[in-house]
Structure 1
Amino acid sequence: MRLCRFDGDRLGVVEGDEVLDVSAALDALPVVRYPLPAHDLLVEALPRLRPRIESLCPTAPRRPLAAVRLEPPVANPGKIIGAPINYHAHATESAADSGIAHGRQITSIGEWGLFLKARSALIGPGEPIRLRFPQRRNDHEVELGVVIGRTARHVTRDEALDHVAGYLVALDITLRGPEFVCFRKSIDTYAVTGPWLVTADEIPDPGRLDLWLAVNGERRQRSNTRHLIYDVPRLIEFASSFYTLQPGDILMTGTPEGVGPLQPGDRIEAGVQGVGVLAVRVAGDDDAPTAAPA
């Protein structure tokens, strides 16, 4: 099943080039009061809501997919977790390109660990990436995104995939520079997810998926998740040994080689096999300062 959010928090099921509006299923979610939960209620409830969603599909209002504004598939991830240098070829290009490494020694994901991107950086394909400091290098990074479906703490790699709700296409947009990685990667609009969430039952093996990215029709990145250094189960095991993972948390699994700079006016298309193709445009930020403060 392909689940999307569209047009102001409506819930849709994507079938071909149409969106079936199954927002009525959201009425079954619990009513919450302050303090609000630090996880995504829909993702948490998805196993019990799925029969209701499926029952609504035959008579659901239909909209052309091209006519709706797609929002981030997960509305309220408590954490967006990134996996640095998780493809060997990207580690090699990062060590060789001073514009990427910026004087840092490139070691390994095991030594660097993971990083967090701010929830406020999250957008869907219906909103542009706004380059905060366009005079500096801002790079694209296509990744397989993993959405956690149930609480995971100290899980083993053998148990890891049982905790996955589904998958999405993710863009980890990165400002290059000397600052801490989580600071440079948490700029508003620098965490793009979409175009929808594909439930885990449709992706039996996340370790054998082609992924690619093109800018203005020029192919820049292409690889397969079999080249991940830490595969999806290992990443979940690793992350859950440090953090308690909650329903709706998004794990960006790392980008392959071919990262490169973006400019206002660019159009990105990025895809993951079996998941979908995310298209998003790049814009400037009219409210941004002309230079990053020292």
Structure 2
Amino acid sequence: MRLALFDKGRLGLVEGDHLVDVTDQVAGADTAGPAGVLQRHIEAVADGSTVRFDLTGRVRVPLARAALAAPLPRPGKIIGAPVNYLDHKAEMEYTTSVADLGVFLKANSSVIGPGEDIVLPYTDKRTDQEGELGVVIGRTASHVSVDDALDHVFGYTCVLDITVRSGEDRSTRKSFDTFTPIGPWIVTADEIPDPDSLDLRCDVAGTTRQRTNTADLIFGVRELIAYTSSVMTLHPGDVIATGTPAGVGALGHGDRVVLEIERIGRLEVGVDGSRAAPYAQRPGRRNP
């Protein structure tokens, strides 16, 4: 299944070029809050509920007319995998990789959805796109094995991990509001038999910057879940951004960023630099 949020919090099942509204078939949908209806559905599945959406006579909305939102607007955790492709390690001249660095956290308030804008914070610090496969956890995971890791996945999505190239810790540089576009929907795990064999492409302003296959990940999806769950308990709805390949680069005002992942979909967002300010004017700065 492909499950999307649309039109101010409705849950839709994607069928061809239409969305079928199944919101009222999710228990507690009317009190879902900022986490969204899809989060409620993921939790219900994790609790053992067998949810089979009845599509008979349901309202169908053309995808072209639907206002898609981030499928998980406020995930419990967003976990990033730094330097998880060898070619990205080479282009950034890093001496370490995910195997040395571990994982990091991003603020869940940084999430936006399809069609929204990445807001550039600074006029004089480069802000880069990083296209990544996103893994959505479906069952509580703590110290799971590599062999059992995929049993804890609800589905997959596209994630853009936007990054300021400045001196702060990763979690700061990657947690600005709008810095985690997610979408356009979540594809359930049964439709992706091998997440470590998916083509990924990211275009900026009509030019392809990143092209890879997830087979080139240093820590594949299984290893990444096993490692992360040995550090922190993963809960239903948590999102792991699996890392970015070579080709990161500066974003500019008016750019369109398009991330496409095989079998998953196409996420497109804009870039707004109209409110950017000099780095030296940031709150909390210190004079030499």
Q: Same fold (TM over 0.5)?
A: yes
Q: Indicate the larger mover: 58-67 or 259-268.
A: 58-67
Partner Cα distance (2:160, 2:210) in 1: 12
1:151 aligns with 2:140: yes
* 8 Å contact kept, 2:74–2:111: no
Query: Which of 60, 63, 67 is 1:62 aligned to?
Result: 60
1:32 to 1:256, Cα distance in 2 relative to 1, 3 A: closer
Q: Give the TM-score taking structure 1 as reference length.
A: 0.89
Change (3 A) 1:142 1:32: closer
Partner Cα distance (2:274, 2:16) in 1: 34
Structure 2 partner of 1:7: 7
Which residue number corresponds to residue 41 of structure 2? 42
Name stretches of at least 5 consecutive residues in structure 2 with no aligned partner.
none
Shift of 1:220: 0.7
1:18 and 2:18 matched:
yes
Mark the CA change 1:40 to 1:28 in structure 2 (over 3 Å): closer, same or farther: closer
Aligned to 1:92: 90
The answer to whether the 8 A contact 2:135-2:153 is kept is yes
Partner residue in 2 for 1:130: 119
Cα gap change, 1:62 to 1:40, in 2 (>3 Å) = closer
- What stretches of structure 1 move > 4 A for 4+ residues in a row? 28-33
Instruction: Say whether 1:191 aligns with 2:171.
Output: no
Displacement of 1:135 in angstroms is 2.7
Partner secondary structure for residue 157 of structure 1 = coil
Aligned 8 A contact 2:32 2:40 in 1: no
User: Aligned Cα RMSD in Å?
Assistant: 2.0
Structure 1 regions of 5+ residues with no counterpart?
96-104
Question: Does the 8 Å contact 1:40/1:78 carry over to 2?
Answer: no
Q: TM-score, normalised by structure 2?
A: 0.91
Structure 1, residues 127-174: CA drift from partner, whole Å, max 9, x if none? 211111143100000000000001000000111000000000000000
> 1:115 maps to what in 2?
104
Q: Measured at CA, do residues 283 and 32 of structure 1 come closer, stay the same or move farther in structure 2, by a change above 3 Å?
A: closer
| In structure 2, C-alpha distance between the alignment counterparts of 1:285 and 1:182, rounded to whole Å | 24
User: Measured at CA, do residues 31 and 67 of structure 1 come closer, stay the same or move farther in structure 2, by a change above 3 Å?
Assistant: closer
Return the alpha-carbon distance in structure 2 between the equivalents of residues 137 and 268 of structure 1.
16
Say whether the 8 Å CA contact 1:142–1:270 is kept in structure 2. yes
Residues 23, 245 of structure 1: alpha-carbon distance in 2 compared, 3 angstrom cutoff: same
| Counterpart amino acid of residue 104 in structure 2 | F
Distance 2:28 2:40 in 1: 11
Cα displacement (A) at 1:31: 6.0
Q: Distance in 2 between matches of 1:30 and 1:264?
A: 38
Q: Deviations over 1:215-249 (max 9, x none)?
A: 12111100000000000000000100000000000
- Structure 1 residues 285 and 109: alpha-carbon distance in aligned structure 2, compared to 1, 3 A threshold: same
2:77 to 74, 79, 87: 79
Aligned residue for 2:56, secondary structure, equals: helix
Report the residue type matching 2:72 in the other structure. Answer: V
Equivalent residue number for residue 227 of structure 1? 216
Kindly state the Cα deviation for residue 30 of structure 1 after the two structures are TM-superposed.
Answer: 9.4
Q: How many angstroms does 1:49 deviate by? A: 5.5
1:201-280 matched pairs, under 5 angstroms: 201-280=190-269
SS at match of 1:126: coil
Cα distance in 1 for partners of 2:113, 2:95 equals: 31
Structure 1 SS opposite 2:233 = coil
Q: Corresponding residue for 1:98?
A: none
CA deviation digits over 1:202-227, x for unaligned, max 9?
A: 00000100000011211110000000
